Amino acid sequence: MSDGVQRLAELIAGRSWLALTGAGFSTDSGIPDYRGPASPPANPMLYADFVGDPANRRRYWVRSYYGWPRMRQVAANPGHRALAALGQASGLQGVITQNVDGLHTEAGSDPVLELHGRLAEVICLDCRASIDRAAFQRQLEALNPGLPELSVPAGEAELRPDGDLDIDDESGFVVPDCPRCAGILKPDVVFFGESVPKERVARAYAMVEAAQVLVVLGSSLTVMSGLRLVRYQAKRDLPVAIVNRGATRGDELATVRLEAGTTETILGLQELLETAVR
């Protein structure tokens, strides 16, 4: 067992704690992250570009169309399952995740606050009507009959962190408007350049306030939605642990800092805590 995991176990022992997870938590499920040490360069869709240009929306949705079947096959990894198994018996109060893959919920963690939303839903930006992503996929299939196979084999097209495939061919792709009001349909996730809904931010702060230790798992804390929670915890003069491969924007605020993978860390933590109970 590493000294780092031992220090993390000692930090949360007898205390309530909250997990804040990022893309690094899902890399062992086969979903790449944007900023890990081995991550390829990526240009995520910006909110302003998506809403401002129909061509950008077509580009996003054709990539999502090809990527969604593969995204649906992604499963929770041992780290997700171990975190769920730790549960309240370890003092874990819940999970705030920046991920949009739904894997913490699939693994059984509860409660889970999906800070950036979830790919499994599509929302209208005008009337806020919600559509199941699987149903929307069937609609895309119906509107685009005879769509060609990927010009790049699926095994060679890069799956991106937001669940779309890195391809460039729009192939005259047709994207529907909202069936209720003809508004713009968008995945129900927070794009770069878009704000997290205020009520979701308020709930995140409330979850931080309810725990004594904040444990960051697999996030570079590059985006403010996660970093401000770390800063808030540090301002309360309460401990912060950060587990990540590569530097983070919150490192100077960390009480315990582990340069490690999240799966190995959570599995090690689970083993330590279960041994202590015996």
- The catalytic residue among 80, 116, 133, 160 is 116
CA distance 207 to 210: 5
Residue 116 known to be catalytic: yes
CB proximity list for 54: less than 8 A, separation 6 or greater: 175
Q: Token digits for 15?
A: 């205390």
Residue set of the binding site: 124, 127, 178, 181
The answer to whether the beta carbons of residues 151 and 102 sit under 8 Å apart is no
**CA–CA dist 85, 78 (Å, integer):** 10
The number of CA neighbours under 13 Å toward the Cβ of 64 is 26
Cα–Cα distance, 156 to 159 (Å, whole number)? 9
Q: Which two tokens stand for residue 121?
A: 């839903």
Identify whether the C-beta of residue 219 lies closer than 8 Å to the C-beta of residue 248.
Answer: yes
Of residues 146, 149, 185, the one with CA closest to residue 165: 149
Q: Which residues are annotated as a binding site for Zn(2+)?
A: 124, 127, 178, 181
Q: What are phi and psi of 13, to 5 degrees?
A: -60, 125
Catalytic (active-site) positions: 116
